[in-house]
Amino acid sequence: MEQPNLSYINDLAAGDESFKNKLIEVVKDELPVEIEIYHSNMNSSAFAKAAENVHKLKHKLGILGLVDGYETAIAYEEELKLGKSSLKTEFESILVACNHFINDL
């Protein structure tokens, strides 16, 4: 399974440690909140709102270097717009991996 990493952040920062640290802090601050909102909407079966949450989360997945995870998020977002959730388990396992990764930074 693909693992979160700092490759994209390192590329964006281009050696600027201050900028790199700011990007990491943004992800560390925003990701848990966005995941919580996503779970709340899923628990309420608010699939349209959850699709909006997935839309925001997919960008965090990209920032954390998850190419396949980003593609999964795109597919899951579209699925949620149709009121379906067959990719829920796969998507949420990606979120768990991301949470563990940022907590260890």
Q: What is the pLDDT of residues 40-99, one digit of tens each?
A: 999 999 999 999 999 999 999 999 999 999 999 999 999 999 999 999 999 999 999 999
The three-class DSSP label of residue 86 is coil
pLDDT at 25: 97
Count structural domains, the chain: 1
Residue 46 lies in a domain: yes
Say which DSSP state 85 is in.
-
Residue 91 and residue 105: Cα distance in Å, rounded?
22
For 75, the domain range is 7-103
pLDDT at 87: 98
Question: How large is the greatest C-alpha to C-alpha distance in the chain, in angstroms?
Answer: 43
pLDDT at 4: 98
Residue 31 lies in a domain: yes
**Rounded average pLDDT over 4-11:** 97
Residue 1 lies in a domain: no
Residue 99 and residue 85: Cα distance in Å, rounded?
21
pLDDT at 16: 97
30 pLDDT tier (thresholds 50, 70, 90): very high
Residue 58 lies in a domain: yes
Residue 2 lies in a domain: no
pLDDT at 1: 79
**Rounded average pLDDT over 1-15:** 95
**Rounded average pLDDT over 31-40:** 98
